Amino acid sequence: MSHLMNTYARQPVAFTHGNGSHLWDSNGKQYLDALAGIAVNTLGHAHPRFTAALSAQIGKLIHVSNVYQIPEQEQLAAKLCGLSKMQEAFVCNSGCEANEAAIKLARMYGHKQGVEIPTVIVMEKAFHGRTLATLSATGNRKVQAGFEPLVSGFVRVPYDDLAAIEQVASHTPNIVAILVEPIQGEGGIRTPDIHYLQGLRKICDQRNWLLMLDEVQCGIGRTGKWFAHQHAGILPDVMTLAKGLGSGVPIGVCLAAGRAAGTFQPGNHGSTFGGNPLASTAALTTLDIIEQDKLMANAQSMGDFLHQGFQSRLGHLPGMTEIRGQGLMLGIVLARPCGELVGRALAQGLLINVTADNVVRLLPALTFSQADAQQLLDMLCPLIADFLSQDA
Ligand SMILES: *Cc1c(COP(=O)(O)O)cnc(C)c1O
């Protein structure tokens, strides 16, 4: 009997080691990893330069405390601000914490402007985490059920719908910010219209609201640019990062710029572990290797290759709805629920995920090679074709 709280329905497999996008289980069976720990293992497994940098850092310092200066954290903040054109960073340990920081920042921004009950617009099918504030911001009843009372101060609108925002604005006082994923991850790899983010930017500018982008899943090179919003050529006021930033070492960041910068003062927010020398080195090294090894270009080209491969091998099949996503953030949308594909793929040595009931989600490492991509097509296409040929 397990002594773990029953929070995950786990697959019956335990891995012992990995190399690049391959993993081995305790029986010596090999797997192709097309999930990368849900967009976390940016550099794949056991990347030699990453391993060396972390080992060296562990031999010097793992943790001190944020009551002291941490040069590695300063460097990381400067690097991320350079890449994103943001101004300042708060470093924490996960995506939900980064979003908590963003929500707290929006409330304090509102209070400073005399808004007594600051309200944040959030989206249907959004996912922002599982702390009380972030599950309240999440647009999925399953995540919220049983945890009421929810945190107040959110209003929800449909995703990718600018008119819905204008409408809610006309009858909701006290709005201070919009919190939105540039591409919805858990919601089913939903990519909005190319003008959506530009429209949100305009609305926020007109009304003095903060545009807060949750790039926890889509950020850090995954879509072929450092951050997914850069495809739209806009700048956010607040951006949150986590998953892929530390290549598996827990780290999250909330960045702010413009109107949002300078909101927090000492005592307003904090984190014991946030941005310690080990986590900051993991993130800095991840960013360095993405640059040196041109992994964003790889994400773009491998993503295009996979997109085309799936399209040509599956696109015409009855029961297929759509292949969508950007770079190495791909969703294969089927017309009916397909959760059982996860177990079938695992049995054949392939790690994938299904989200939003009917979307096969692929989030491989940014180091995914041409051979890995070919292997993924050859393993996954027959599985999906078989599944679709069976009666529901
Ligand atoms: C995973 C995820 C989160 C939550 O991150 P945790 O590290 O699990 O707290 C928040 N937002 C998005 C978009 C995510 O994909």
Q: Whose CA is nearest to atom 11 of ligand 1?
A: 128
15-47+294-389 and 51-292: identical CATH topology: no
List of residues 6+ apart from 281 with CB closer than 8 A: 53, 54, 57, 72
| Distances, alpha carbon 49 to alpha carbons 112, 284, 286, 306, in Å | 45, 12, 10, 27
Within the chain, how many helices (H) and strands (E) appear?
Answer: 12, 15
Q: ω before 149 within 30° of 0 (cis)?
A: yes
Q: Quick check: 218 and 329 in contact, CB under 8 A?
A: yes
> Mind listing the pLDDT tens digit for each residue in 247-295?
999 999 999 999 999 999 999 999 999 999 999 999 999 999 999 999 9
Q: Report d(CA 96, CA 188) in Å as an integer.
A: 19
DSSP H helical ranges for 208-350? 277-292, 295-314, 341-347
Rounded to 5°, angle at Cα 296 from 291 and 298 = 115
Closest residue CA from atom 15 of ligand 1: 217
Atom number in ligand 1 closest to CA 97: 9
Percent of the chain with pLDDT over 90: 99
Q: Does domain 15-47+294-389 have CATH number 3.40.190.10?
A: no
CB atoms within 10 A of CB 51: 13
For residue 185, the ligand 1 atom closest to its alpha carbon is: 15
Neighbours of 193 (CB within 10 A): 12
What are the extents of the domains in the chain?
15-47+294-389, 51-292
For residue 1, what pLDDT is reported?
83
Q: Please, what is the average pLDDT of the chain? A: 98
Cα–ligand 1 centroid distance for 126 (angstroms): 10
Average pLDDT for residues 43-67, to the nearest whole number? 98
The answer, yes or no, to whether residue 392 has pLDDT greater than 80, is: no
Ligand 1 centroid from CA 98, angstroms: 9
Residue 54: is its pLDDT beyond 90? yes
- Of ligand 1's listed atoms, the one at least distance from the Cα of 94 is 7
pLDDT of residue 237 exceeding 90, the answer is yes
Q: Which atom of ligand 1 is nearest to the CA of 99?
A: 10
CA 322 to chain centre: 21
Taken in order 133, 135, 140, 145, is the CA torsion positive or negative?
Answer: negative
* Sign, Cα dihedral of 216, 221, 224, 228: positive
Q: Atom 5 of ligand 1 has which residue's CA nearest to it?
A: 95
Give the CA count within 13 Å in the CB-facing half-sphere of 194: 4
Residue 51 clears pLDDT 70, i.e. is over it: yes
Q: How many whole angstroms from its chain centre is CA 388?
A: 29
Residues within 6 Å of ligand 1 by CB: 94-96, 99, 127-129, 181, 185-186, 214, 216-217, 242-243
User: Nearest CA to 274 among 96, 136, 140?
Assistant: 96
In sequence order, the β-bridge partners of residue 119 are 175
Q: Per residue in 317-353, pLDDT tens?
A: 999 999 999 999 999 999 999 999 999 999 999 999 9
157, HSE (Cβ side, Cα atoms, 13 Å): 22
**Confidence (pLDDT) at 366:** 98
Distance CA 320, CA 50 (A): 39
- Ligand 1 geometric centre to CA of 129 (Å): 5
Query: How many A from CA of 157 to the centre of ligand 1?
Result: 20
Q: Please write the tens of the pLDDT for every residue from 177-207.
A: 999 999 999 999 999 999 999 999 999 999 9
Helix (H) or strand (E) holding 134: helix 132-137
Q: How far apart are CA 2 and CA 85, in angstroms?
A: 47
* Chain position carrying tokens 């890995």: 372
Residue from 93, 243, 251, 353 whose mutation best tests the ligand 1 pocket (most atoms within 8 A of CB) = 243
Going from the Cα of 128 to the center of ligand 1, the distance in angstroms, rounded, reads: 5
pLDDT range class, residue 18, cuts 50, 70, 90: very high
Full-prediction pTM beyond 0.95?
yes
| Residue 323 near residue 310, CB atoms below 8 Å | yes
Centre of ligand 1 to C-alpha 316, Å, is: 33
Which of 143, 213, 217, 254 gets mutated to test ligand 1 (max ligand atoms within 8 A of its CB)? 217
Q: Would you state the CATH architecture of domain 51-292?
A: 3-Layer(aba) Sandwich (3.40)
- pLDDT attached to residue 244: 98
Evaluate whether 341 touches 359 at the Cβ level (below 8 Å).
Answer: no
**Atom 6, ligand 1: residue with shortest CA distance:** 95
CA of 96 to the centre of ligand 1 (A): 6
